[in-house]
Amino acid sequence: MEQTFKATEINVGFHPAGYRIDKTASPMNRYTKWDILSGNHWCNPKPVCFDSLPQQGWFAKDKFDWNEIDMTGERNIRLC
Q: pLDDT by residue (tens digit) across 8-44?
A: 999 999 999 999 999 999 999 999 999 998 888 888 9
Quick check: is 63 in a domain?
yes
pLDDT digits (tens, 9 = 90+) for 58-74: 999 998 876 655 444 43
Phi, psi of 75 (to 5 degrees): -70, -40
| Total tally of structural domains belonging to the chain | 1
Are the beta carbons of 46 and 40 closer than 8 angstroms? no
Quick check: is 41 in a domain?
yes
Domain that holds residue 45: 7-79
Q: Cβ-count burial of 32 within 10 angstroms (0-12 exposed, 13-18 middle, 19+ buried)?
A: buried
The DSSP result for 33-72, as a single string, is EEEEETTTEEEEEEE--GGGS-SS-BEE-S---GGG--TT
Quick check: is 2 in a domain?
no
Quick check: is 1 in a domain?
no
Cut 0.85: pTM above it: no
Quick check: is 61 in a domain?
yes
